[in-house]
Structure formats: C-alpha cells, structure tokens
Amino acid sequence: MNSVPELNLENFNVYGQLTTDVNKEIENRKVDINNFSGLSFVLFYSKPCCKEYIKALEEIHSKIKPFKVYLYQTSKGTNSSIFSLKDAPYRIIGFPYVITYYDGYFCSVYKPNNLPEPNKLFEEFVKFSNKITNLNSCKN
C-alpha cells in the first residue's frame, strides 16, 4: 500500500495556502498550482489520534482518483496563520481536521463534528470533488 505524502510547515505560506517554495521566508512563499493542481485534501492530525482516518487515506491514495490526499502531523510545528492570525481562512480546533484546497488555495474545511466516518471518506471526497470540478471553483 502506498503511504500518503506527509506535509510539513514548509509546505504552507503565511496565509495557510499550499506551496513548495521552501527556499523563501514563509511570508514570501507563493501558492504552487503546478504541484498542487486540482483538489487536495489535507488531514491535520495529532498522534495517537486518527489511525483509522490515516488508514482510509492510505487506501484512497493507492487508488486512481480525481484528487490528492496528504497528511500533516501537527506536532511537527504549524504555520502560525493556521492557528492564530486574525484573518486566517481557517483555524484548526480539534482532530481529525481536513482542509481542502483547490489549486493550492484554501477551499473549505471538514471539522471533527462534520467529518464523515473513515469508511465514508472516499465516497464523500468523490462527491465533493465532482461538485468542485463541475463548478471549476471552490466558491459557492
């Protein structure tokens, strides 16, 4: 089974967007739509939480799919915007927490109280992906 790619602090800019521009200060990083094109789901988790979700994402990652999935272990440090900036697009409160991105930009959130059970993730992600693909945007 393929392991899900694990993101680090370097993969986020100060606005909490996805980037691979790790050679710049966090404020100067740009969203990277080439490496994060289309829809991406990032599971933010804290050990030992979320083993069933990680297992479900490993299964999703090993299949052909219309989106990408990633893990982010919060004990490795996080972008301050994710937790505390006044204008941050989201704040992580509790785990598991899934942030969705479209072309590297923040799209939406699955908070712990509205995150589907692990066995329903693939179905939910496909449904959400179809909606976003049909709109060609995250904006409702």
- State which residues form the domain around 33: 9-135
pLDDT on residue 140: 54
| Number of domains within the chain | 1
Answer whether residue 58 is part of any domain. yes
Best CA proximity match to 92, nearest among 126, 103, 77, 104: 77
Q: Are 19 and 32 in contact (CB under 8 A)?
A: yes
Tell me the pTM.
0.90
Answer whether residue 87 is part of any domain. yes
pLDDT on residue 22: 85
pLDDT along the chain (140 residues), means of 10: 82 88 86 91 90 93 86 74 64 87 92 92 91 77
Answer whether residue 112 is part of any domain. yes
pLDDT on residue 110: 92
* Residue 96's CATH number: 3.40.30.10
pLDDT on residue 86: 58
Q: Are 96 and 121 in contact (CB under 8 A)?
A: no
